[in-house]
Amino acid sequence: MQPKDTTDNEAFKGFTNHECPFMPCHKGVKREFNCLFCYCPLIAYECPGPYKVFIDANGMRRKDCSGCNLPHNGIKQSWNFIQKWLEQPVLWDGKPQTRFQVDLPEEAIPDYRPRTP
Ligand code: SF4
């Protein structure tokens, strides 16, 4: 049992920093903005986000996550999303995003995802 399992208080799942000068740092967030994952825990792992790949000054392949709002779109939703993808993390291989359909809980389905016909 983890500490989070001993309480009904879900404040640990996130917060909104209304005083942040960069708010809103990502467009398209329609739910309560979650600032907890400002530095996304999935940056080094496979994820379903719409990142673009770029080469940094040291020649390293990096994710440009400026078009992703998954870690921010709703306090509980973004918490659930991050927890799900950290259950069995897979190191990112540096390749471009090709994932279009992912198995997310209903409450964590992002708005940007293309729908299948
Ligand atoms: S694309 Fe989104 S989910 Fe993936 S690492 Fe970047 S911010 Fe996190």
pLDDT tens string for the chain (117 positions)?
888 899 999 999 999 999 999 998 988 899 999 999 999 999 999 999 989 999 999 999 999 998 899 999 999 999 999 999 999 999 999 999 987 555 555 555 555 444 444
Does the pTM exceed 0.75? yes
Question: What is the distance between the alpha carbons of residues 32 and 57, in angstroms, rounded to a whole number?
Answer: 35
Nearest residue (by CA) to ligand 1, atom 3, is 49
Among 39, 46, 63, residue to substitute to test ligand 1 (most atoms within 8 Å of Cβ): 63
Neighbours of 74 (CB within 10 A): 22
Residues with CB under 6 A from ligand 1: 40, 42-43, 47, 49, 51, 63, 65, 68, 70-71
Domain parsing of the chain, residue ranges = 32-93
- 90 Cα to the center of ligand 1, angstroms: 13
Question: What is the distance between the alpha carbons of residues 67 and 69, in angstroms, rounded to a whole number?
Answer: 7
Name the token pair of 69.
């709002």
